[in-house]
Amino acid sequence: MLHTTFVWLKQTIAVLLFAITTFSFLSAQNLLNHVPNDADIVVEFNIDELAAKVDLDSLGRMPMMVEFLKGAPKLIKNPKNYGIETREKLAFFLGTGDNLMYFGLLVPINDVEKFKGFAQEMGDGWKVETTDNFWTMKDVREYGEGGLTKIKSLSGFTEKYALFIDGNFVKDPDLPDQFENYYERYDEIDRLKGIALEKKLSSVMGLNGTQSIKANPTFNRLSANKGEIRLFMNSEIAMGGMQEEFRRNPMLSTLYSQMEEFYYNNYLTASLSANDGAIEFDIDQEPNAKIREISESIIKKAKINKRFSKYVAQDDLLGYYSFAFNSYNAVKTYREMVTPIIDSIPNIPGGLASSGFDILDIFIDEDALADLIPGDMMVAFTGIKSYEREYTTYQYNDSTFEREEIIKTRKVPAPEFTFMMSTKNEEDMNKIMKALTKIPGSSRRNPDPIFVSQGSYLTSPMIAENTGMDLFVAMQDGIVFVSNNDDLIKNKLTTGGYLGNQRLAKAHRKAMKKNNAVLYTDMDKVLASIKGIDDRSIKGEQPQKILSMLGDKMDEMWLVGSSRKDPYASKMVVSMKDESQNAVWQIAQVVNDIYLETSKRRRNRIQEIEMVPDEEETDMEIEEDKGNE
Amino acid sequence: MKRFSYLILILLVGVSCTGCFELIEELTLNSDGSGHIAITFNGSQSKGKLNSVMKLETVNGYKVPSKSDINQEFYQLKKDLNAMSGISNVKISLDSDNFIYTVEGDFQNIPALNKALNQVAKSSIEKRNMPYRFTPFDHYQMSGRKFVRTGPDRDRVPDYQKVKMDDRQIFESGEYRAIYRFEQPIQSVSNDRAVVSKNRKAMMFHASVKELIDSKIPMANTITLQ
């Protein structure tokens, strides 16, 4: 199944590539009217909208695109030659039904005769057939004896659009005993698959507007936002397709009915917009009552500790991830959710696990746990440091080459990070930190405890010995810190963190206030930090050049999720330094530049090899020279 | 010594991950053909990574041995070598904190040493059911005043291509050093990379394992004694 998904993915990428790299004129048509209402996943590619923002012709002429399309099939290389409209909308859908998982790709057609011409050009096995209200084009191959055939490629088309369809059986059909032989068996399965796909093609081509996804009010409501690529997923139908797989396993089948309520009536949409200076990716979920109930109890009331921002220096910031959940409700909900699922597992495993939970429940005080760890955390990266690590090597006496053991040091890069976690119970947290100082280390050289107290913080001599890095654990201001930033731990914690203008900037504080999860990366700074790493693999001319190319273009990446306003929405923004040009164009340009840079190296190497004369060739040339004389 | 060094690497493949290591082969040859050999594996440069890897169950698909497992392997190796004819006084030195392991011992003559090395390599590969073909060969040869260190046989190269990419990285991140000492002074060495000591009674060859695998630098060397 994975392989099939991969093949589909490759095909989709290929189709996208041909769509954005080939010139054609525009015509209006809504392909979503031909997508079945019960499709699991629908993806709409609005190439027309992208074409309005990006010069697709120039993009298609970039060497990397030309190279990429070199080996592609004719239909993908030159779709306009076969009457396929490539500058409009394309739609891709994935469906399950009748023991078939299938995908369809819908493309607009502007010249049906040219499209029919493709089959004629391909020749052997390719044919166009006429049905009541559409044509089919298929590549039929003969196999075995007695004129047996199977379909290698199948599409249906009208004068306006074509539907390419392919798929696989969810479960191999039961076959009579005569198909014991491996090859005969799979030939027969392929033949039956062809028949099933033809049936599916016929039913999809026969859809009218009211049976299409456009008649689905949820789809229309959720897909209203603009974007060059829009995805819609109906998890109820998608999971329904897996029903058969689940039912085959007795343990999973009991879980299936319990899990059903999580994905029933649950929808997800995502859209991608390529704008000047930024690519925006929006994800919206329309959850069912169950998911809504869980989300509201776990996420809605949780908040990221605003004091975290005091302990992160804005000037050094490479990136961070912060999130909050209500740990008390999370434990409660998890127990409520999991207990019936575990109880439903037949025989011993379920019973044992369930009774184990019940016994544990007697000893665990959920209120105390939630007080100790309320559930908001942050990890921030503020630089890449070089740590000195000692190692043993040898020096050799010039006279005799006798060796002598010496200790040397080398520099190892590692990120500077700070992990922060809120606590409402400093007293008990202190007890835990004290306990850490009693855990003995395992090193024979250093039998001391893993952590030792240094007054207001703990350090780990064992970690320092192994990695060269000083790791600190501390608590201040109702926050537990685990960090390798010694300046923060030694100087800033007791003085209330960084000064106002040095701490995390307002935009970050605002994002953390408004959302339950924030992921931020300063790509420019990250690339500059990587560039500065004192390592052979980075210091080379080519890696430095590539890092500069990326650093010149990339700016920031934000991912915010579960906002106070809308807990079911997430947004990702990848921004570029140049705000005047479309982000897709800029990314394509930098990828193309990197392609040229790396291929230049490859070409030089090939030329070097070609310049060395082949022995046989040289001998022949000498013989020829002799002959000429 | 390639096979023997290979054995040492195999023993530590589970903990080698992507760090650097040093492999030192020291051989002292007496004029009667007997001698002393010491093989040292030094993983000290990668001890941070190695300590982390030791906490894993498997790496690159191999079970990660514990430090005591590794030590146990060396004790067994010592026992096996001591039982071989022509090999004696086998000693091991194990520094598990710095990942430095040395095996050393005396040999009666070069054929006895070659036989012992081949036997150890063969049993190690068979014991672990490794997908590498074993073919015995003479690592060292002594004839008159000429001492020959045999280079890798070309037949091994296709085998190396079959080695998993992750495993190749382990081998290729290492450094190899060979030091041979003699009672008589050295007249000449055939390998350009080899250097002769000031007292002319020792020779040292140094290369990265990657250079040797890629055949950029030949390992074979003929040392002519005065």
DSSP A161-213: EEEEEEEEESSPPP--GGG-SHHHHHHHHHHHHHHHHHHHHHHHHT--GGGBG
Q: CA–CA separation, A219 vs A271, rounded Å?
A: 13
Q: CA–CA separation, A620 vs A614, rounded Å?
A: 10
Contact A174, A206 (CB under 8 A): no
Among A388, A391, A406, pick the best mutation site for testing chain B contact (most B Cβ within 10 A). Answer: A391
pLDDT, tens digit, for every residue of A183-226? 778 888 888 999 999 999 999 998 877 888 888 888 888 776 66
Give the residue from A219, A231, A216, A213 showing the smallest Cα distance to A283: A231
Contact A281, A271 (CB under 8 A): yes
Chain A residue numbers with beta carbons less than 8 Å from the beta carbon of B100 are 392
The amino acid at residue A283 is I
CA dist A412 to A332, A423, A533, A548, B19, Å?
44, 33, 9, 22, 11
pLDDT, tens digit, for every residue of A449-470? 889 999 899 998 888 877 788 9
User: Which residues have CB under 8 Å from A293's CB, separation 6+?
Assistant: none
Torsional class of B21: left (φ above 0), alpha (ψ -120 to 50), beta (otherwise): beta
Q: In the prediction, which pLDDT does B73 show?
A: 84
Give the residue from B179, B168, B115, B155 showing the smallest Cα distance to B9: B168
Contact A580, A277 (CB under 8 A): yes
Q: CA–CA separation, A339 vs A353, rounded Å?
A: 9
Q: In the prediction, which pLDDT does A387 show?
A: 84
Contact A232, A269 (CB under 8 A): yes
Give the residue from A460, A457, A443 showing the smallest Cα distance to A489: A457
Size of interface A-B (CB pairs under 8 A): 52
Residue A130's Cβ-count burial label (10 Å; 0-12, 13-18, 19+) is exposed
Q: Does A400 touch chain B (CB under 8 A)?
A: yes
Contact A10, A76 (CB under 8 A): no
**Strand pairing partners for A155?**
A137, A164
Provide the residue count of chain B.
226
CA dist B69 to A123, A235, A280, B54, B73, Å?
66, 49, 53, 11, 6
Q: In the prediction, which pLDDT does A120 show?
A: 82
Q: In the prediction, which pLDDT does A627 show?
A: 40
Query: What are the structure tokens assigned to B54, written together?
Result: 């030791």
SS3 category, A469: coil
**Is B98–A391 a contact, with Cβ atoms under 8 angstroms apart?**
yes
Q: CA–CA separation, A291 vs A298, rounded Å?
A: 10
Q: CA–CA separation, A482 vs A500, rounded Å?
A: 22
Q: In the prediction, which pLDDT does B13 show?
A: 43
Chain A residue numbers with beta carbons less than 8 Å from the beta carbon of B48 are 389, 412, 466-468
Encode A2-38: b = buried (16+ Cβ within 10 Å), e = exposed: eeeeeebeebbebbbbbbbbbebeeeebbbbbbbbeb
Which stretches of chain A drop beneath a pLDDT of 70?
1-29, 145-146, 224-226, 237-259, 300, 344-351, 441-447, 601-629
User: Which residues have CB under 8 Å from A362's CB, separation 6+?
Assistant: none
Of B51, B197, B203, the CB nearest to A399: B197
Q: In the prediction, which pLDDT does A5 show?
A: 43
Q: Does A444 touch chain B (CB under 8 A)?
A: yes
- The helix/strand count (H/E) of chain B reads as 8, 13
CA distance, residue B188 to nearest chain A CA (Å): 16
**Is A399–B44 a contact, with Cβ atoms under 8 angstroms apart?**
no
Q: CA–CA separation, A238 vs A41, rounded Å?
A: 8
Q: How many C-beta atoms lie closer than 10 Å to residue A440's C-beta?
A: 10
Q: What is the bridge-based pairing of β-strands B21-29 and B174-182?
A: parallel
**Is B197–A400 a contact, with Cβ atoms under 8 angstroms apart?**
yes
DSSP H helical ranges for A364-421: 366-372
**Is B44–A391 a contact, with Cβ atoms under 8 angstroms apart?**
yes
Q: In the prediction, which pLDDT does A623 show?
A: 42
Contact B186, B146 (CB under 8 A): no
> Which residue in this structure is represented by tokens 């060739």?
A617
Chain A residue whose CA is closest to B178: A401
Angle at A591 between CA A586 and CA A596, to 5 degrees: 125
**Is A400–B202 a contact, with Cβ atoms under 8 angstroms apart?**
yes
Chain B residue numbers with beta carbons less than 8 Å from the beta carbon of A414 are none
Contact B54, B12 (CB under 8 A): no
Q: Does A393 touch chain B (CB under 8 A)?
A: yes
Our measurement of the distance from residue A422's CA atom to the centroid of its chain's CA atoms, rounded to an integer in Å, reads 30
Chain A residue numbers with beta carbons less than 8 Å from the beta carbon of B98 are 391-392
Q: Does A468 touch chain B (CB under 8 A)?
A: yes
Residues 132 to 191 of B: which have CB under 8 A from any A CB?
A: 179, 181
Q: In the prediction, which pLDDT does B166 show?
A: 60
Q: CA–CA separation, A519 vs A285, rounded Å?
A: 19
Q: CA–CA separation, A206 vs A201, rounded Å?
A: 8
Whole-complex ipTM: 0.81
Crossing angle, helix A250-263 and helix A327-344, to 10 degrees? 140
Q: CA–CA separation, B100 vs A148, rounded Å?
A: 67
Global pTM reads 0.72
Chain A residue numbers with beta carbons less than 8 Å from the beta carbon of B198 are 398-400
Per-residue pLDDT in tens (0 to 9) along chain B, 226 residues:
333 344 344 334 433 334 488 899 999 999 999 999 999 999 888 877 777 777 776 666 667 777 788 888 889 889 999 999 999 999 999 988 888 999 999 999 999 999 999 888 888 777 766 666 677 888 999 998 999 998 766 555 545 565 666 666 666 678 899 999 999 999 999 999 999 999 999 999 998 887 887 777 788 899 999 9
Torsional class of A253: left (φ above 0), alpha (ψ -120 to 50), beta (otherwise): alpha
Chain B residue numbers with beta carbons less than 8 Å from the beta carbon of A443 are 97
User: Which residues have CB under 8 Å from B24's CB, separation 6+?
Assistant: A394, A403, B38, B39, B40, B42, B177, B178, B179
**Is A396–B199 a contact, with Cβ atoms under 8 angstroms apart?**
no
Q: CA–CA separation, B8 vs B42, rounded Å?
A: 10
Chain B residue whose CA is closest to A444: B97
Query: What are the structure tokens assigned to A520, written together?
Result: 């931020």
Q: CA–CA separation, A515 vs A318, rounded Å?
A: 20
Q: In the prediction, which pLDDT does A367 show?
A: 84
The sign of the CA dihedral A510, A515, A517, A518 is negative
Query: What are the structure tokens assigned to A558, written together?
Result: 């934000």
Q: CA–CA separation, B198 vs B204, rounded Å?
A: 11
Contact A577, A587 (CB under 8 A): no
Contact A139, A155 (CB under 8 A): no
Q: In the prediction, which pLDDT does A602 show?
A: 61
Query: What are the structure tokens assigned to B131, written together?
Result: 């997908």
**Is B48–A398 a contact, with Cβ atoms under 8 angstroms apart?**
no
